[in-house]
Structure 1
């Protein structure tokens, strides 16, 4: 459930404009900013009483989504409030770019992603509407499991139809 951050953490000062990659070289700078923010997320998870192992799992999962997909593949700011990004990740990119895609693995990535966006909302860095869209996309585990199954069932030139159902194109 979405809640604003009231745990008494230090105020998180972020200039969201700094998180927009404009060139390939700039992507390195944005990647570092995201890494720092993910570390803050990791630390706050532990400050709420979560074990280091659980915090590592969630932060690592969020890291894969944020840095490898949103910034590197999509070339977007993590603050760009455009629904559908989680669906593109879990319903297409992860499946195509993983040797043995597993629904249980997607579930872990989505748990970390959901918690990271709750963290952003808690620090008033994204809107409630966008958080709710992210949470909704993260909850569609049966859909993503079906996408994995249908991927393995592709024959002939069926990939195009499979890709169009959940396209990476914006």
Structure 2
């Protein structure tokens, strides 16, 4: 479980309203804001003693989830506290949009997502309740592995049934 930011780190001052994409042009602006926040995350986790390689892996995973999926595909703010977003990513979007989806790769993404949202909680940018929802969704690796297997088992018109089990629709 994450803790609030230690005194050694400057508390982030963020206007969450700036992270809400409303147009395609806005999405580019929000993408840059999220990128800057991810760089801060990357720097802070290294200051805790994490190696640059580990920090790169976690930040890269969080980057893919936040910028490519949350902002670009879902058109949401990373601070939008609606549960289910990780489940939509790992249980549907990643699988459909990856040539060879692997549970081990999802596991890496989930680790980065979990750590990034712990970072946001540590800076008091998300609620404990939302962090707990994110952590819960990140702990469902067996479910996501099963989704990959069932994706490969789809025959005929079975895709719609598969998609409904973990839909991208809100």
CA distance in 2, matches of 1:137, 1:72: 21
CA distance in 2, matches of 1:54, 1:7: 23
Partner of 2:154: 154
Partner of 1:63: 63
Conserved 8 A contact 2:19-2:78: yes
Partner of 1:108: 108
1:85 aligns with 2:94: no
Aligned-pair CA distance for 1:7? 4.5
Aligned-pair CA distance for 1:2? 2.2
Question: How many corresponding residue pairs?
Answer: 170
| Runs of at least 5 residues in structure 1 that lack an aligned partner in the other structure | none
Aligned-pair CA distance for 1:11? 1.8
Partner of 1:5: 5
CA distance in 1, matches of 2:110, 2:61: 7
Q: For residues 5-154 of structure 1, what are the structure 2 equivalents within 5 Å?
A: 5-154=5-154
Conserved 8 A contact 1:93-1:168: yes
Name the TM-score, length of structure 2 as normaliser.
Answer: 0.99
CA distance in 2, matches of 1:118, 1:10: 16
Q: Which runs of 4+ in 1 moved over 4 A?
A: none
Conserved 8 A contact 2:83-2:130: yes
Deviations 1:123-152 (A, max 9, x none): 000000000000000000000000000000
Name the TM-score, length of structure 1 as normaliser.
Answer: 0.99
CA distance in 2, matches of 1:49, 1:166: 37
